Amino acid sequence: MSRLVVVSNRTADPRKPAAGGLAVAVKESLQQTGGVWFGWSGRLAEDAGSEAAHTAGTHVQPVGNVTLATLDLSREDYETYYLGYANDVLWPVFHYRLDLANFDTRFAAGYRRVNQLFAQKLLPLLKPDDLIWVHDYHLIPLAAELRALGVGNRIGFFLHIPMPPPLIMAAIPEHEWLMRSLFAYDLAGFQSQADVTHFSHYAEAEAHAEVPSPERLRAFNRTLRVGAYPIGIDVDEFVRLAHAKEGLDMFGWMREEYARRQLLLGVDRLDYSKGLPQRLYAFRELLARYPETRNSATLIQIASPSREDVGAYDELRRQMDSLCGAINGDYGELDWMPVRYIHRNVARRRLPGLYRASRVALVTPLRDGMNLVAKEFIAAQDPADPGMLVLSRFAGAAEQLKEALMVNPYDTQGTAQAIQRALTMPLEERISRHEALLSRIRKLDVHWWCSTFLQALKHVEQDMPL
């Protein structure tokens, strides 16, 4: 069996329960194959000069039979590659926010430099038949850099965020270079069919790619296989967490505290892609339009701090503080506050109890690759009395979770109406929608995601390296 090498911006100890996300997803395959997980340590090299990071070694640490290998970055590389190109160019553009992008040429140079550094440091750890799986927008050019060093292994790429339509992509000054770099992979996986379509159209329009079949694109003398591999969650682990002590305690406490109320819940990183202000407008509209919700509907919005070093996030924070204050000021009573806004991280073990105690989840991003909160909410529900999911049609999850109440988050009135419908939905309808949703997220869970992608990568017909 080929060894798996996972490369992502950050790594995590796959044994730690708090690791979550990608760690849960790739843990089994890493353990089965005695694999390697390679990424940035999250630390800055002592000496701020970029030379220091380029010459510093890789920290290699065995964790069971898995090898965690990390490198430090210089401050300059952190600012240009991570804060700059990844989070101030690619993140906003891929979420359709050209207005927030900062196309500074120093950022592009830093991004390229760090991808070269990753390739140089990874090279000595590679064996000839390793399967290499690169994750996300931080590392688009990594395969091309590895190919330049002579690496002929199968290399797959998975984009966790949306792929925008061609003309939005084309606004990035370096977009041709990014696209050419993507063709150095053997397989590119996306979250949804819409993303695959956007990428194919983009490659056809901008690189005159031939499309011999919907899964294969030919350009730059290479064939790239593409496909939708919607990421899932570990449903069984989530159900277990919901029944563990902290989950049950949280559930009991919430039910008691909010016995006379109907709970609505949002759980997001504080990010402009998540549509948080629009969600609050819709909630305010609900209170204005349906007087029966006053003194009853309570929105708990967890907005965990995220990327606080990136400017666009300050503005969002101020906006949220003021909107929540205004709604509470306008509608609050001595014994009821409509919005509980928590700008802190909540322990993972407590989340399932919070989900289960909520009548409605509001997952209303303006754009999202997938959105795992939607799936976690479904997994945590009591099948005999499940809460209802209100879901943005612009989340990747909308392609799969058809039985949710679908909304356009820009449509304040329509979203308020859908929330009211969710709050008043008869038990029978809730049960049947939940059954369908749960069986789908169970079938297409995180293990399915990982094994389907890796099987496809293993069996891809390989071209000659660039």
Site string for ligand GDG, 113-152 (x = CB under 6 A): ----------------------------------------
Residues 221-240 that bind ligand GDG (CB under 6 A): 231
By C-beta, is 130 or 376 nearer to ligand GDG?
376
First to last CA, the chain: 26
Tell me whether residue 302 or residue 362 sits nearer to ligand GDG (CB atom). 302
Of the candidate spans 329-337, 344-352, 379-387, 405-413, the one that interacts with ligand GDG by CB under 6 A turns out to be 344-352
Burial of 46 (0-12, 13-18, 19+ CB in 10 A): exposed
Task: Mark whether 160 is an active-site residue.
Answer: yes
Contact 172, 86 (CB under 8 A): no
> Of 371 and 392, which CB lies nearer to ligand GDG in the complex structure?
371
How far apart (Å, rounded) are the C-alpha atoms in residues 351 and 443?
A: 22
| Per-residue DSSP letter, 333 | B
The piece of 57-65, 121-129, 311-319, 339-347 that touches ligand GDG (CB under 6 A) is 339-347
Cα-Cα-Cα-Cα dihedral of 295, 373, 236, 384, to 10°? 30
Give how far the C-alpha of residue 282 lies from the chain's centroid of Cα atoms, to the nearest Å. 24
Among 346, 405, 436, 466, binds ligand GDG (CB under 6 A): 346
Task: State in angstroms the smallest separation of the CB of 370 from ligand GDG.
Answer: 3
Amino acid in the structure at residue 443: K
Q: Which of 304, 328, 408, 452 binds ligand GDG (CB under 6 A)?
A: 304
Among the listed residues 54, 135, 160, 198, the single catalytic one is 160
Kindly state the number of chain residues that form the binding site for ligand GDG, as judged by CB under 6 A: 20
- Does residue number 372 form part of the binding site for ligand GDG (CB under 6 A)? yes
Least distance between ligand GDG and beta carbon 303 (Å): 8
| 128 close to 7: Cβ distance less than 8 angstroms | no
All residues at 6 or more sequence positions from 361 whose CB lies less than 8 Å from its CB, including other chains? 264, 265, 266, 267, 355, 373, 374, 377, 387, 388, 389, 390
Minimum CB distance to ligand GDG, residue 23 (Å): 11
CB 447 within 8 A of CB 234: yes
19 touches ligand GDG by CB under 6 A: no
Nearer residue to ligand GDG within complex by CB, 22 or 117: 22
3-state secondary structure string across 334-372:
CCECCEEEECCCCCHHHHHHHHHCCCEEEECCCCECCCH
Min dist CB 346 to ligand GDG, Å, is: 4
Q: Which stretch binds ligand GDG (CB under 6 A): 4-12, 168-176, 192-200, 346-354?
A: 346-354
Query: Which entry of 72, 88, 136, 368 is annotated as an active-site residue?
Result: 368
Kindly state the tokens that stand for 198. Answer: 């956007």
Helix or strand run (H / E) with residue 33: helix 21-33
Q: Smallest gap, in angstroms, from Cβ of residue 265 to ligand GDG?
A: 11
Catalytic positions are: 160, 368
Q: Contact positions toward ligand GDG, by CB under 6 A?
A: 20, 160-161, 231, 267, 269, 302, 304, 345-348, 351, 368-373, 376
